[in-house]
Amino acid sequence: MTTNEGPTPQPSHQVPEKKQTSLGLYVTAQEAYEMWKTKPEQVNILDVRTPEEYVFVGHAEMARNIPLVFVTRQWDADNNEFVVEPNPDFIPHVKDLFALTDTLLVTCRTGGRSAKAVNALAKAGFVNVYNIIDGMEGDKVNDLGSVNHGKRTKNGWKNSGSPWTYDVNPELIGLPIVKR
Protein backbone atom coordinates (compact mmCIF):
# COMPACT_ATOMS: atom_id res chain seq x y z
CA MET A 1 0.00 0.00 0.00
CA THR A 2 1.22 3.49 -0.76
CA THR A 3 0.18 7.07 -0.16
CA ASN A 4 1.77 10.24 -1.48
CA GLU A 5 4.37 9.99 1.27
CA GLY A 6 4.99 6.27 0.80
CA PRO A 7 3.63 3.02 2.13
CA THR A 8 1.30 3.09 5.06
CA PRO A 9 2.45 1.30 8.21
CA GLN A 10 1.93 -2.39 7.75
CA PRO A 11 -0.16 -3.91 10.55
CA SER A 12 0.99 -7.34 9.37
CA HIS A 13 4.58 -6.55 10.37
CA GLN A 14 5.43 -8.25 13.63
CA VAL A 15 7.83 -5.66 15.02
CA PRO A 16 9.88 -6.76 18.04
CA GLU A 17 9.93 -4.20 20.86
CA LYS A 18 13.58 -3.23 20.28
CA LYS A 19 12.73 -2.29 16.67
CA GLN A 20 9.60 -0.26 17.47
CA THR A 21 9.61 3.51 17.11
CA SER A 22 7.61 6.46 18.36
CA LEU A 23 6.41 7.18 14.79
CA GLY A 24 5.24 3.60 14.17
CA LEU A 25 6.34 3.62 10.52
CA TYR A 26 7.89 0.33 9.36
CA VAL A 27 8.98 -1.26 6.12
CA THR A 28 10.98 -4.34 5.27
CA ALA A 29 14.14 -3.99 3.21
CA GLN A 30 12.27 -5.24 0.13
CA GLU A 31 9.45 -2.74 0.70
CA ALA A 32 12.02 0.03 1.20
CA TYR A 33 13.69 -0.74 -2.12
CA GLU A 34 10.35 -0.82 -3.93
CA MET A 35 9.37 2.48 -2.30
CA TRP A 36 12.69 4.06 -3.37
CA LYS A 37 12.35 2.71 -6.94
CA THR A 38 8.90 4.30 -7.23
CA LYS A 39 10.10 7.79 -6.20
CA PRO A 40 13.93 7.90 -6.03
CA GLU A 41 13.95 11.70 -5.98
CA GLN A 42 11.60 11.82 -2.96
CA VAL A 43 12.55 8.75 -0.92
CA ASN A 44 15.90 8.72 0.87
CA ILE A 45 17.74 5.72 2.30
CA LEU A 46 19.72 6.62 5.42
CA ASP A 47 22.23 4.04 6.70
CA VAL A 48 23.13 4.76 10.34
CA ARG A 49 25.72 2.01 10.75
CA THR A 50 29.35 2.76 11.51
CA PRO A 51 31.58 3.71 8.58
CA GLU A 52 33.35 0.36 8.99
CA GLU A 53 30.09 -1.56 8.57
CA TYR A 54 29.04 0.59 5.63
CA VAL A 55 32.31 -0.05 3.79
CA PHE A 56 33.25 -3.61 4.75
CA VAL A 57 29.82 -5.27 5.05
CA GLY A 58 28.36 -3.41 2.09
CA HIS A 59 25.46 -1.00 1.70
CA ALA A 60 22.50 -0.14 -0.48
CA GLU A 61 23.84 1.62 -3.57
CA MET A 62 21.81 4.78 -2.93
CA ALA A 63 22.17 4.86 0.87
CA ARG A 64 23.64 7.89 2.55
CA ASN A 65 25.79 6.95 5.56
CA ILE A 66 25.42 9.13 8.65
CA PRO A 67 26.55 7.05 11.64
CA LEU A 68 24.40 7.12 14.77
CA VAL A 69 27.37 5.92 16.87
CA PHE A 70 31.09 5.34 16.52
CA VAL A 71 33.00 2.31 17.77
CA THR A 72 35.67 3.05 20.36
CA ARG A 73 38.81 1.03 20.90
CA GLN A 74 37.48 -0.28 24.22
CA TRP A 75 35.99 -3.70 24.91
CA ASP A 76 32.93 -4.14 27.16
CA ALA A 77 33.51 -7.58 28.71
CA ASP A 78 30.09 -7.60 30.42
CA ASN A 79 28.23 -7.20 27.14
CA ASN A 80 30.84 -8.94 24.97
CA GLU A 81 31.06 -6.05 22.50
CA PHE A 82 32.97 -2.90 21.69
CA VAL A 83 31.95 0.27 23.48
CA VAL A 84 30.23 2.78 21.22
CA GLU A 85 29.81 6.50 21.66
CA PRO A 86 27.07 8.67 20.13
CA ASN A 87 27.81 10.70 17.04
CA PRO A 88 27.27 14.27 18.33
CA ASP A 89 26.74 15.49 14.75
CA PHE A 90 24.06 12.94 13.80
CA ILE A 91 20.98 15.18 14.09
CA PRO A 92 22.70 18.36 12.78
CA HIS A 93 24.06 16.47 9.77
CA VAL A 94 20.68 14.95 8.93
CA LYS A 95 19.05 18.38 9.30
CA ASP A 96 21.65 19.85 6.92
CA LEU A 97 20.66 17.33 4.23
CA PHE A 98 16.94 16.78 4.69
CA ALA A 99 13.78 18.75 5.47
CA LEU A 100 11.68 17.70 8.47
CA THR A 101 8.98 16.42 6.10
CA ASP A 102 11.26 14.43 3.76
CA THR A 103 10.71 10.70 3.57
CA LEU A 104 13.61 8.87 5.21
CA LEU A 105 13.98 5.09 5.29
CA VAL A 106 16.49 4.28 8.02
CA THR A 107 18.59 1.14 8.12
CA CYS A 108 21.28 -0.42 10.28
CA ARG A 109 22.40 -4.05 10.60
CA THR A 110 19.09 -5.55 11.76
CA GLY A 111 16.67 -2.77 12.74
CA GLY A 112 17.52 -2.01 16.38
CA ARG A 113 19.95 0.88 15.95
CA SER A 114 17.80 2.31 13.17
CA ALA A 115 14.83 2.34 15.59
CA LYS A 116 16.93 4.46 17.97
CA ALA A 117 17.85 6.75 15.07
CA VAL A 118 14.18 7.08 14.02
CA ASN A 119 13.25 8.02 17.59
CA ALA A 120 16.03 10.63 17.75
CA LEU A 121 14.93 12.08 14.41
CA ALA A 122 11.28 12.15 15.50
CA LYS A 123 12.30 14.00 18.66
CA ALA A 124 14.14 16.50 16.42
CA GLY A 125 10.94 17.12 14.44
CA PHE A 126 11.15 14.71 11.49
CA VAL A 127 7.75 13.18 10.67
CA ASN A 128 8.13 10.74 7.73
CA VAL A 129 10.83 8.45 9.06
CA TYR A 130 10.46 4.69 8.61
CA ASN A 131 12.45 1.95 10.30
CA ILE A 132 13.67 -0.73 7.89
CA ILE A 133 12.94 -3.50 10.37
CA ASP A 134 15.19 -6.19 8.90
CA GLY A 135 18.11 -3.88 8.17
CA MET A 136 21.02 -4.55 5.85
CA GLU A 137 21.96 -8.02 7.03
CA GLY A 138 18.66 -9.36 8.33
CA ASP A 139 17.67 -11.47 11.28
CA LYS A 140 19.36 -14.69 12.38
CA VAL A 141 17.96 -18.02 11.27
CA ASN A 142 16.67 -19.87 14.34
CA ASP A 143 16.51 -23.45 13.07
CA LEU A 144 18.87 -25.99 14.65
CA GLY A 145 18.50 -28.23 11.58
CA SER A 146 19.60 -25.53 9.14
CA VAL A 147 23.17 -24.98 7.97
CA ASN A 148 22.32 -21.30 8.32
CA HIS A 149 21.35 -21.55 12.00
CA GLY A 150 22.63 -18.43 13.78
CA LYS A 151 23.53 -16.68 10.50
CA ARG A 152 21.89 -13.53 9.19
CA THR A 153 20.43 -15.02 6.01
CA LYS A 154 16.73 -14.80 6.85
CA ASN A 155 15.80 -11.39 5.42
CA GLY A 156 17.37 -7.92 5.15
CA TRP A 157 18.56 -5.84 2.23
CA LYS A 158 21.43 -8.14 1.23
CA ASN A 159 19.18 -11.21 1.21
CA SER A 160 16.22 -9.54 -0.57
CA GLY A 161 17.74 -9.31 -4.02
CA SER A 162 17.93 -5.52 -3.77
CA PRO A 163 21.09 -3.89 -5.15
CA TRP A 164 24.00 -3.33 -2.79
CA THR A 165 27.69 -2.66 -3.11
CA TYR A 166 31.02 -2.34 -1.31
CA ASP A 167 31.95 0.66 -3.47
CA VAL A 168 31.91 4.02 -1.69
CA ASN A 169 30.56 7.16 -3.27
CA PRO A 170 32.23 10.00 -1.30
CA GLU A 171 29.13 12.16 -1.82
CA LEU A 172 27.07 9.69 0.24
CA ILE A 173 29.26 9.41 3.34
CA GLY A 174 28.70 11.57 6.38
CA LEU A 175 32.30 12.02 7.39
CA PRO A 176 34.83 14.70 6.48
CA ILE A 177 36.77 13.93 3.30
CA VAL A 178 40.53 14.30 3.72
CA LYS A 179 42.79 14.83 0.71
CA ARG A 180 46.42 13.85 1.16
Report the pLDDT value the prediction gives residue 10, as an integer from 0 to 100.
53
Do the beta carbons of residue 104 and residue 130 sit within 8 Å? yes
**H or E stretch covering 44:** strand 43-47
pLDDT tens sequence across 106-122 = 999 999 999 999 999 99
Do β-strands 69-76 and 64-65 pair in parallel, antiparallel, or remain unpaired?
Answer: unpaired
| 3-state SS, residue 160 | coil
Do β-strands 69-76 and 59-60 pair in parallel, antiparallel, or remain unpaired?
Answer: unpaired
Using 70 as the pLDDT threshold, list the residues of the chain that sit under it.
1-12
Do the beta carbons of residue 15 and residue 133 sit within 8 Å? yes
Closest CA to 114 of 134, 94, 100, 96: 134
Do the beta carbons of residue 32 and residue 39 sit within 8 Å? no
d(CA 44, CA 91): 16
Report the pLDDT value the prediction gives residue 11, as an integer from 0 to 100.
53
Report the pLDDT value the prediction gives residue 160, as an integer from 0 to 100.
93
* Cα four-point dihedral sign 27, 30, 34, 37: positive
Structural domains of the chain, with CATH: 17-66+93-165 (3.40.250.10)
The amino acid that residue 7 corresponds to is P
